[in-house]
Amino acid sequence: MTRPTVSRTCGWFRRCPMPTARWPIRRRAAGSTTIEFALTASVFFLFAFGLLEMARILFVWNAAADGIHRAARQMAVTDFTDAGAVNSVRAAAMLSNGGTMPLGGGINGTYVLIEYLDRNRAVIPTLPPCPVYNVRNCLDDSAGACIRFVRARLCLPGTSCTPVPYQPLFAAVIPDGAITLPTFEATVPAATLGYRPGTASACP
């Protein structure tokens, strides 16, 4: 009679160990790693996009503020009847050069509102026909249609000044309409307004 073979690890009176299921454990570990990576990546990209958006806000804010002040100073010496010159000043103020401000979300020269004010800083409803007439009006009646100040503001295109909403690149970081840009109002005394003494003028 042949004697049965007894294993070294288990026998008649020792319980054999159950086989270990390794693959399910590895799958669970891989799934946990994927979830952790997804959560970490979400936080990282949200933080990175937030930094980019904040940098863009600062750029648009500073560029628009500087451009509005520059437009006011330039329009104080520019002929207000020359539409080409006025549009050039407005476009240069917003760094657009016929297009839009870099990273500005569609802001261009049409967003620069130029207004001419009297001595009480009220908007003059009817402008003089040319800079020469403005000089005459100021000499004859300083309380009439006499341009004393030039004001520039950042507004939506139109006759009224509606504040410009900031358009974010990443709506997940900053929702649309959450931030409104100031008008960056700049008022300077009127200078020559394009008038050059001793030169011929087309205005009678």
**59: containing domain:** 29-189
Smallest CA-to-CA distance from 72 within 87, 48, 51, 90 is with 90
Residue of 154 and 98 predicted with greater confidence: 154
What is the number of domains present in the chain? 1
Report the C-alpha gap between 112 and 69 in whole angstroms.
Answer: 11
Does any domain span residue 7? no
Mean pLDDT value across residues 42-68: 91
Q: What is the DSSP code (8-state) at residue 6?
A: -
Does any domain span residue 199? no
Residue 163 has pLDDT above 70, yes or no: yes
Alpha-carbon torsion 8, 10, 12, 13, what sign? positive
**What's residue 102's pLDDT?**
87
Report pLDDT digits (tens) over 6-28. 555 555 556 666 555 555 555 56
**What's residue 44's pLDDT?**
83
Does any domain span residue 194? no
Q: Quickly state the pLDDT bin for 33 (edges 50, 70, 90).
A: confident
**What's residue 177's pLDDT?**
80
Does any domain span residue 68? yes
| pTM (global) more than 0.85 | no
Q: Which two tokens stand for residue 26?
A: 């590895």
Does any domain span residue 17? no
Mean pLDDT value across residues 29-50: 79
